[in-house]
Chain A
Amino acid sequence: GQQVMQIPQYQHVQEGEDFTTYCNSSTTLSNIQWYKQRPGGHPVFLIQLVKSGEVKKQKRLTFQFGEAKKNSSLHITATQTTDVGTYFCAGGNAGNMLTFGGGTRLMVKP
């Protein structure tokens, strides 16, 4: 079945440093979604990408979908303490349910 791998599992950064999490699928995806889960909270939808090579920005967050539609990344510029949480990617394939990656837990030192 479809597998979605996400790295790294954990990342400690100093406030102000950049952060990137990567997502790789074993199969070609029709779309990819990103979610953020704050400590003690539930996952909240951030964005969906559907086009090959697509790049979307939300303030300091930049999301990319690979040309082959098998990988994606989330980059945060100049992290803040409010960015703390676990970031999940979820890959969709036509006719199949979303498959979530294992998540990257981001910790930010003030």
Chain B
Amino acid sequence: DVKVTQSSRYLVKRTGEKVFLECVQDMDHENMFWYRQDPGLGLRLIYFSYDVKMKEKGDIPEGYSVSREKKERFSLILESASTNQTSMYLCASSPDFTGELFFGEGSRLTVL
């Protein structure tokens, strides 16, 4: 069974803290994605990666960075968390650039 695993389901951080969200997939997919989900706004793409050490900005990259040192792992980093980054973060992987996405369970981040 295919699996995308996100390291934390719930996090509470303080403004200004550095936050790491980890995502691991076991499907040998080339493409990995980080989305942010907010009510009424759907899923908005933050960053994606189509290969190890490669990354591309999505629609809302400001305030975020990513790291992909290994094919199976894609990390989202908030260098200095702010309250407007309180949200649900979803990691996904896909074998094709615009093909079916396999999502992780999500990480709900609250920034106080």
Q: How far apart are the CA atoms of A9 and B58 in the complex, in Å?
A: 24
Residues 64 to 109 of chain A near chain B (Cβ within 8 Å)? 88, 90, 92-93, 96-98, 100-103
Pair B42/A102 contact, Cβ less than 8 Å:
yes
Pair B101/A45 contact, Cβ less than 8 Å:
yes
B62 at the binding interface (Cβ < 8 Å): no
A31 at the binding interface (Cβ < 8 Å): yes
Pair B98/A45 contact, Cβ less than 8 Å:
no
Interface residues on A, range: 20 to 34
- For chains A and B in complex, what number of residue pairs have CB atoms within 8 angstroms? 51
Interface string of A36-48 (1 = CB under 8 A from B): 0000011111001
29 contacts between A and B (CB under 8 A): A1-B59, A4-B42, A41-B105, A42-B103, A42-B104, A42-B105, A42-B106, A43-B43, A43-B90, A44-B103, A45-B100, A45-B101, A48-B99, A88-B42, A90-B43, A92-B98, A96-B98, A97-B33, A97-B45, A97-B48, A97-B98, A98-B98, A98-B101, A100-B42, A100-B43, A100-B44, A101-B42, A102-B41, A103-B40
What residues make up the interface of A, taking CB atoms closer than 8 Å to B? 1, 4, 6, 9, 30-31, 33, 35, 41-45, 48, 88, 90, 92-93, 96-98, 100-103
